[in-house]
Amino acid sequence: MTASDTPDISVVVPVHDEAGAAGPLAREIAAAFMGRSYEMIFVDDASRDTTLAELRALMAELPALRVLSHATNAGQSRAVRTGVLAARGAIVVTLDGDGQNPPAEAPKLADALMAAPPNVALVGGRRAKRQDTAAKRWASRWANGIRKRLLKDDADDTGCGLKAFRRDVFLRLPYFDHVHRYLPALTIREGYENRYLDVDHRHRETGRSKYTNWGRLRASLSDLMGVMWLKSRARRPGAVTEF
């Protein structure tokens, strides 16, 4: 694929201090999307290790690879948004940079979205056999249950990094830190529908998680209140007619 091509799919991967994981993940993505019209965009969120150098070294080997770098650490949601803004594909697929989302699952989410009617904006992954600690799984179930009850967003697992969504719809959504966890609720707010598919999940092989259960809890409380406010202030115009 050359730089002048317009791919059908843009795979966006936010990474921060993922030396040893980012390179193999990029090769897996290339294998998963071989023969398809795609690009992959790794957004390095000011890593302090060799993540950026490892990715840049792969660019000659993987023509579909684009590497963007933040000068300052800005968090996962901002890294995803940076990638989506740079994306050339109408369909964006996201994966976590730690390698726990199997890239082989990504094409089926993209295919499901491309086959769906225009009113479906997002196809989310749902980790069928989550490979995390018991404490993390329990905290996730608890948080997902509360969020789903309050926001009525129909998502069982918003923490799954594997998602496919329409780029134009994403860019209409309000941006805030941690917005990646609230995409289902916000797409519904805009009048769209979501669908979900079971996906595999793997153990982390390198590095360590950037999140703790208490850290997520502190952020989620304020985020939930904010998204509830956004939903309460939404007014949709129905069909829009141009004359």
**Is residue 4 included in any domain, yes or no?**
no
Q: What is the CATH number of the domain that holds 109?
A: 3.90.550.10
Residue 237 domain-assigned (yes or no)? no
Q: Is residue 13 part of a domain?
A: yes
Residue 240 lies in a domain: no
Q: Is residue 60 part of a domain?
A: yes
104, two tokens: 């082989």
Tens-digit pLDDT string for the chain (243 aa): 444 479 999 999 999 999 999 999 999 999 999 999 999 999 999 999 999 999 999 999 999 999 999 999 999 999 999 999 999 999 999 999 998 899 999 999 999 999 999 999 999 998 887 655 666 666 667 666 677 778 878 888 888 899 999 999 999 999 999 999 899 999 999 999 999 999 997 766 665 555 554 555 566 777 888 998 998 988 888 888 899
pTM: 0.86
- Name the residue range of residue 160's domain: 9-232
User: Is residue 242 in a domain?
Assistant: no
Q: Is residue 215 assigned to a domain?
A: yes
* Number of structural domains found in the chain: 1
Please state, in angstroms and rounded to a whole number, the distance separating the CA atoms of residues 62 and 56. Answer: 10
CA distance 13 to 76: 9
199 in any annotated domain? yes
Question: Token digits for 105?
Answer: 């699952």
